[in-house]
């Protein structure tokens, strides 16, 4: 059986890496990897950490990249690869433009499309934009659906996907996290030394990330205003913000948060260093999907800067609080977790709803039994 695993951004790479490495070790399959390069630097950081050399690289990232040219170029760039390799199965992950376009290309080529992290839904096509559309289209095109939770399976069943084609696996992000943990513990490299130079780790650390398109513009301005207020009100707290390379994020963040003593703006960190830093943090404020799945496994409360979520499991489990991009809400919930140690302890002791680190094993067993 021939597998083609396609991804293009940092989160897809992190969540597909354990599947790639498991498939490559399994001689029942011929497995090849294709990256679209939707992200370049951040994708390459992950490939290098997980020791993955792609067989094909579309290198599509361009200045002023937009959804129109990216979608078109992923589909047309994959045509010769699919025609040459003729995979039986094409694997895509999650909800990016790469995911959606690659699933369409795989469908055109007559391969069975396998969707990893299937069935997440807000059921509001416009939020998050364009991710909800990407995941719904991929869900229509895919034959096999690897749902991380029962809730995501339910979403797929309500869209008339047949149950035999769905497998509840847990999220592969936990596989990645557990696989990396021993290497994370032994970390000693320049990035950490640099962080140690600027950050006082005897203080409580708030870790921040953000990149969602729906927050570009006023959303990021609000986020920065709130972070500045938190930093000023709490000089005994250090805020570390690895800033996403998207210019819509970089610009407002650098302009509004560039000169504050206890806010440290740093470049995107390599995955193990980011995991190391999550472990060192007191609290995480983010609009990221992956981070809200990882953090509960590490016992870290998360404030999510979004109004809707396709990950209600974490909100229901109490490990995540939605704060949107409302300045007062971000400040109030952060202050509460800084000041109310009982609430903090409760939140950090809750159970992670996203799996046990054996998602990839389940996916491979399912495919090999077909
Ligand atoms: N991450 C990383 N370095 C950073 C920030 C995040 O390696 O500086 C990792 C994080 O651990 C998570 C993933 O990147 O696994 C999340 O990516 P992102 O927030 O870009 O995308 P999303 O999860 O929202 O799709």
Per-residue pLDDT tens for 60-82? 988 888 999 999 999 999 999 99
Judge residue 71's burial from the number of C-beta atoms within 10 Å of its C-beta, 0-12 exposed, 13-18 middle, 19 or more buried.
middle
Same topology, domains 2-171+356-368 and 183-348? Answer is yes
Q: Is 14 in the pocket of ligand 1 (CB under 6 A)?
A: yes
Q: What is the DSSP letter of 307?
A: S
Residue nearest to atom 17 of ligand 1 (CA): 11
Tokens of 187: 């970390």
List the domain boundaries for the chain. 2-171+356-368, 183-348
The pair of structure tokens assigned to 87 is 């995979």
Q: Is the CB of 289 under 6 A from ligand 1?
A: yes
274 in contact with ligand 1, CB cutoff 6 A: yes
Q: What pLDDT band is residue 19 in, cutting at 50, 70 and 90?
A: very high
Q: Which residues are catalytic?
A: 95, 117, 131, 211, 213, 244
Give residue 110 CA to ligand 1 midpoint distance, Å: 32
Flag whether pLDDT at 189 surpasses 80.
no
Ligand 1 centroid from CA 262, angstroms = 22
Contact 290/339 with Cβ under 8 angstroms?
no
Nearest atom, ligand 1, residue 286 CA = 19
Token pair in block for residue 110: 């007559």
Token pair belonging to 306 = 């979004």
Backbone φ, ψ for residue 96 (5° rounding)? -90, 175
Q: For every residue of 199-256, which 3-state class applies, written as one string?
A: CCCCCEEEEEECCCHHHCCHHHHHHHHHHHHHHHHCCCEEEEEECCCCHHHHHHHHHH
pLDDT at 194: 84
What pairs with residue 144 in β-bridges?
Answer: 114
Can you give the pLDDT at residue 112?
98
Cα(13) to centroid(ligand 1), Å: 10
**CATH of region 2-171+356-368:** 3.40.50.2000
| Ligand 1 pocket, residue 8 CB under 6 Å | no
Residues in contact with 39: Cβ distance below 8 Å, sequence separation at least 6, in sequence order: 8, 9, 10, 61, 245
Q: What is the tens place of the pLDDT at every residue in 245-293?
A: 888 999 999 999 999 999 999 999 999 999 999 999 999 999 999 999 9
Q: Is the CB of 211 under 6 A from ligand 1?
A: yes
Atom of ligand 1 nearest to the CA of 290: 23
pLDDT in tens, 79-109: 999 999 999 999 999 999 999 999 999 999 9
31 CB less than 6 Å from ligand 1?
A: no
Percent of the chain with pLDDT over 70: 99
165 CB burial (10 A radius; 0-12, 13-18, 19+) = middle
Mutate to test the pocket of ligand 1, among 7, 8, 11, 208 (most ligand atoms within 8 A of CB): 11
**According to the CATH classification, is domain 183-348 in 3.40.50.2000?**
yes
The token pair at 55 is: 């067989």
The owner of tokens 């094993």 is 361
């Amino acid at each position: 059986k021939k597998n083609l695993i396609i991804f293009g951004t940092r989160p897809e790479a992190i969540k597909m890496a354990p599947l790639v490495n498991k498939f490559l070790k399994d001689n029942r399959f011929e497995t090849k990897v294709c990256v679209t390069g939707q992200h370049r630097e951040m994708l390459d950081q992950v490939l290098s950490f997980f020791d993955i050399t792609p067989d094909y690289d579309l290198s599509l990232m361009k200045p002023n990249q937009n959804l129109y040219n990216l979608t078109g170029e992923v589909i047309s760039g994959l045509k010769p690869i699919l025609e040459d390799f003729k995979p039986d199965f094409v694997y895509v992950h999650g909800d990016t433009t790469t995911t959606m376009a690659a699933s369409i290309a795989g469908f055109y080529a007559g391969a069975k499309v396998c969707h990893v992290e299937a069935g997440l839904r807000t059921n509001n096509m416009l939020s998050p934009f364009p991710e909800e559309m990407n995941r719904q289209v991929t869900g229509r095109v895919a034959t096999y659906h690897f749902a991380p939770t029962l809730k995501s399976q339910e979403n797929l069943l309500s869209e008339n996907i047949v149950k035999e084609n769905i497998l509840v696996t847990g999220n592969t992000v936990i596989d990645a996290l557990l696989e990396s943990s021993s290497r994370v513990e032994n970390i000693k490299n320049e990035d950490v030394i640099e962080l140690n130079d600027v950050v006082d780790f005897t203080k409580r650390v708030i870790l921040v990330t953000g990149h969602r398109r729906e927050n570009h513009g006023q959303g990021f301005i609000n986020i920065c205003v709130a972070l500045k207020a938190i930093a000023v009100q709490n000089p005994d707290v250090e805020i570390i913000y690895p800033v996403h390379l998207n210019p819509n994020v970089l610009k407002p963040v650098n302009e509004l948060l560039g000169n504050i003593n206890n806010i440290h703006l740093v470049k995107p960190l390599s995955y193990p260093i980011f995991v190391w830093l999550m472990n060192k943090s007191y609290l995480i404020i983010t609009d990221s999907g992956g981070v809200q799945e990882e953090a509960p496994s590490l016992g870290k409360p998360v404030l999510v800067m979004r109004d809707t979520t396709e990950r209600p499991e974490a909100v229901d489990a109490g490990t995540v609080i939605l704060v949107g991009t409302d300045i007062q809400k971000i400040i109030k919930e952060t202050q509460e977790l800084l000041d109310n140690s009982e609430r903090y302890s409760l939140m950090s002791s809750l159970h992670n709803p996203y799996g046990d680190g054996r998602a990839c094993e389940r996916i491979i067993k399912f495919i090999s039994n077909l």
